[in-house]
Structure 1
Amino acid sequence: MTRPIIALDFASKKEIQTFLDFFPREESLFVKIGMEVFYQEGPTIVEWLKELNHDIFLDLKLHDIPNTVGKAMEGLARLGVSMTNVHAAGGQEMMKAAKHGLEKGTKAGKTVPKLIAVTQLTSTSEKQMQQDQGIFSTLEESVLRYAANTEKSGLDGVVCSAWEVEKIKNQTNSDFICLTPGIRPNGGDVGDQKRVMTPSEARKIGSDFIVVGRPITQSDQPYLAYQEIKNEWNGVCEHD
């Protein structure tokens, strides 16, 4: 079965350990480590999770001049994560530098991490994009433009809302990844997300990976919540 990616949006290793205690020790998870905990704990949080046999999406959303991003990716590659990302807004030159850095930094015989680019955050509305970013197209047009630039840059895919997946798939190659955050079970609290879908809807629309945070991490029964979302994501049960 394909695993949903659990967003470990905690402030410390201790909080993550408390959360993981709800899960069978032998079960390998796919987890997302973001800025919140990485900036507190540093690379050791990745090394510790790898020792526990978990796969890692390192969600740092790099966005800087090409040389800086390339050098940063060269260092991050040595951590052995499965996937990491940049902001597509950094442009093609930056994305190409990021890809080169990952390839250069990956140890001989090891797999180069998947590299994907953030299009528009799922917390961003079209009105916010137009007012704050000065992009006066539709939100969908902006996402599709970023996805096209990402593919031209040789990256593996994008982070996007599930609402844009079908059109991105129609304009990119068959291996192009669409990773979708903002996934909520039926009736779940959407929090600060603006563009959300259920796991079954994301599967039907063609998402390759889904990221789920609070519906699992803030549940009274995290492992049960994880199993239910995993089953729905894999089409084992339907809620719609």
Structure 2
Amino acid sequence: MSNPVYLALDLPQLRDAQELAGKVKAHIGGIKLGLEFFCAHGAHGIHTMASVGLPIFLDLKLHDIPNTVARAMQAIHVLEPAIVTVHASGGRAMMEDAKAAAGEHTRVVGVTTLTSLDDRDLERTGVSGSTHDQVLRLAELAQAAGLDGIVCSGQEVKSVHDQWHDGFFVVPGLRPAGTASGDQKRVVTPRQARDDGASVLVIGRPISRAENPLAAALEIESTL
């Protein structure tokens, strides 16, 4: 992948998302469209964004019984996403069925621990141990289930890469040096995540909410 940056575009207006993607398309490698975008714009919005000419990462974080997730994966074949997410905590059977139902050219990756969560948050949900340990556990489960890779923070990607050498690793919650973390709790810079083994760097607000998105995308690209 020549440019690992996928721009997260969860803008409320479809035209704004399309225009922004068009402005920076030469300096990113793909577009990440999440649950907010999908609920607002549906399949039509995905097709519209695909016209920009970049790979689509459909970040739906599917999590349900195996049969339901498999049918959902089959339903999005027509959208031809390059990457789709499921929650690794849905279990091995769910992940196996999700991968079996995915399109031939779609990578299925398991979300481990959201970058908005820390050790204290996990403890409150009944998960013992650190976020780092939980990510490694779920990464091992995702690998056993036959997924292509996982989603984790930049703070865990090196350990996961050491454990799963040929995995495909998506790292969100990235912030260029000197920028605010916002609601993200486990952040690193794009350069660090890439050096530690990230395959895809998901970057949203540092570009989409920048005063000059093109300049912001160029600056991030120059560090990679």
TM-score by structure 2 length?
Answer: 0.94
Q: How far 1:203 moved relative to its partner?
A: 1.7
Q: Is the 8 A contact 1:180 1:210 kept in 2?
A: yes
Q: Is the 8 A contact 1:28 1:53 kept in 2?
A: no
> For the residues of structure 2 that align with 1:179 and 1:87, how far apart are their CA atoms?
13
> For the residues of structure 2 that align with 1:170 and 1:37, how far apart are their CA atoms?
34
Q: Which residue is equivalent to 1:238?
A: none
Where in structure 1 are there 5+ consecutive unaligned residues?
234-240
Q: What is the RMSD computed on CA atoms of the aligned residues?
A: 1.6
Q: How far 1:21 moved relative to its partner?
A: 5.2
Q: Which residue is equivalent to 1:236?
A: none
Q: Which residue is equivalent to 1:182?
A: 173
> For the residues of structure 1 that align with 2:50 and 2:9, how far apart are their CA atoms?
14
Is structure 2 residue 62 aligned with structure 1 residue 62? yes
Q: Is the 8 A contact 1:178 1:209 kept in 2?
A: yes
Q: Which residue is equivalent to 2:13?
A: 12
Q: Which residue is equivalent to 1:214?
A: 205
- 1:59-138 aligned at under 5 Å gives the runs 59-102=59-102, 106=103, 111-131=104-124, 133-138=125-130
Moved more, 77-86 or 153-162: 77-86
Does the residue aligned with 2:223 lie in a helix, a strand or coil? helix
Q: 194, 197, 201: which is aligned to 2:192? A: 201
Higher CA-based Rg: 1
The residue type paired with residue 37 of structure 2 is V
> For the residues of structure 2 that align with 1:196 and 1:129, how far apart are their CA atoms?
17
The residue type paired with residue 62 of structure 2 is L
Q: How far 1:22 moved relative to its partner?
A: 3.3
Does the residue aligned with 2:173 lie in a helix, a strand or coil? coil
Q: Which residue is equivalent to 2:30?
A: 30
The residue type paired with residue 188 of structure 1 is T
* Closer, same or farther: CA 221–144 of 1 in aligned 2, 3 Å: same
1:69-90 deviation line (CA, Å, top 9, x unaligned): 0000011122111101100010
Does the residue aligned with 1:162 lie in a helix, a strand or coil? coil
* Closer, same or farther: CA 23–2 of 1 in aligned 2, 3 Å: closer
Q: 153, 163, 170: which is aligned to 1:171? A: 163
* Closer, same or farther: CA 141–6 of 1 in aligned 2, 3 Å: same
Does the residue aligned with 2:156 lie in a helix, a strand or coil? helix
Does the residue aligned with 2:10 lie in a helix, a strand or coil? coil
Q: Is the 8 A contact 1:28 1:55 kept in 2?
A: no
Moved more, 154-163 or 29-38: 29-38
Q: 146, 152, 159: which is aligned to 1:154? A: 146
1:85-124 deviation line (CA, Å, top 9, x unaligned): 100010000001101111xxx3xxxx42010010000000
Aligned length: 223
> For the residues of structure 2 that align with 1:75 and 1:155, how far apart are their CA atoms?
19
> For the residues of structure 2 that align with 1:170 and 1:28, how far apart are their CA atoms?
27
Does the residue aligned with 2:188 lie in a helix, a strand or coil? coil
Q: Is the 8 A contact 1:3 1:230 kept in 2?
A: no
